[in-house]
C-alpha cells in the first residue's frame, strides 16, 4: 500500500518520546506524530494525550522514503477559544460567524492619528534633547 498525503489511517502508538509519538501503521510501516501535531492545544508532554498501545486515527501529512509524518490534530474539528477574564478559555466552534468589523467613525480616526502624531513627536523631541545635552556637556570640558 502506498502512503499518500491526506490519507487517513488507523494505527497503534508504538512508543512515545519527548518530541512526539511513533505510530505503527499497516504493512509494518512506522510514522511519527510530532508533538506539534498531537492536539489543537499546546502540548507540553505527549504522554498527557497518548499512551503506548492506544489505537489512534492519523492523517498522512508527508511521505518520503523511510519517513512518514502524521497528524492527529488535523482530523479533530478545530475550535477557537475566547478568553474570559479570570477563567479558563471557553471553547467555541470554529464555524461560529464573526461579525464584520464596524467602520470607524471620524472621531476614532482622528484619535488614532493624534496618538500616532504624539508618539512620533515625543520620540523626536527626546532624540533632540539627547543630542543637545550631549553637545552642552562637551562644551563645558
Looking at beta carbons, which pairs linking 126-131 to residues 24 or more positions away fall under 8 Å?
A: none
Q: Report the pLDDT value the prediction gives residue 33, as an integer from 0 to 100.
A: 93
Question: In angstroms, what CA-CA distances link 79 with 4, 39, 73, 91?
Answer: 27, 11, 11, 6
Pick from 24, 17, 20: which is nearest to 55 by CA? Answer: 24
Res 15 pLDDT > 90: yes
Q: Report the pLDDT value the prediction gives residue 79, as an integer from 0 to 100.
A: 45
CATH of the domain at 49: 2.40.50.140
Q: Is the pTM of this model over 0.75?
A: no
Q: 59 and 112, same structural domain?
A: no
Q: Report the pLDDT value the prediction gives residue 87, as an integer from 0 to 100.
A: 59
Q: How many domains does the chain have?
A: 2
In a domain, 54, yes or no: yes
- Last residue of a domain, which of 58, 76, 94? 76
Domain, as residue range, for 39: 8-76
Q: 20 and 67, same structural domain?
A: yes
Q: 116 and 70, same structural domain?
A: no
Q: What is the pLDDT of residues 87-141, one digit of tens each?
A: 566 555 555 565 666 777 777 888 888 888 888 888 888 888 887 877 676 665 5
In a domain, 127, yes or no: yes
Q: 108 and 68, same structural domain?
A: no
In a domain, 114, yes or no: yes
Amino acid at each position: 500500500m502506498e502512503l499518500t498525503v491526506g490519507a487517513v489511517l488507523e494505527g497503534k502508538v508504538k512508543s512515545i518520546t519527548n518530541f512526539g509519538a511513533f505510530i505503527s501503521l499497516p504493512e509494518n510501516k512506522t510514522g511519527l506524530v510530532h508533538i506539534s501535531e498531537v492536539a489543537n492545544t499546546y502540548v507540553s508532554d505527549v504522554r498527557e494525550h497518548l499512551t503506548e498501545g492506544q489505537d489512534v486515527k492519523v492523517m498522512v501529512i508527508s511521505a518520503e522514503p523511510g519517513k512518514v509524518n502524521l497528524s492527529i490534530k488535523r482530523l479533530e474539528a478545530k475550535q477557537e477559544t475566547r478568553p474570559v477574564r479570570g477563567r479558563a478559555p471557553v471553547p467555541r466552534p470554529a464555524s461560529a460567524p464573526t461579525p464584520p468589523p464596524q467602520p470607524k467613525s471620524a472621531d476614532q480616526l482622528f484619535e488614532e492619528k493624534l496618538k500616532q502624531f504624539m508618539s512620533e513627536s515625543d520620540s523626536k523631541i527626546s532624540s533632540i534633547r539627547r543630542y543637545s545635552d550631549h553637545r552642552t556637556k562637551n562644551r563645558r570640558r
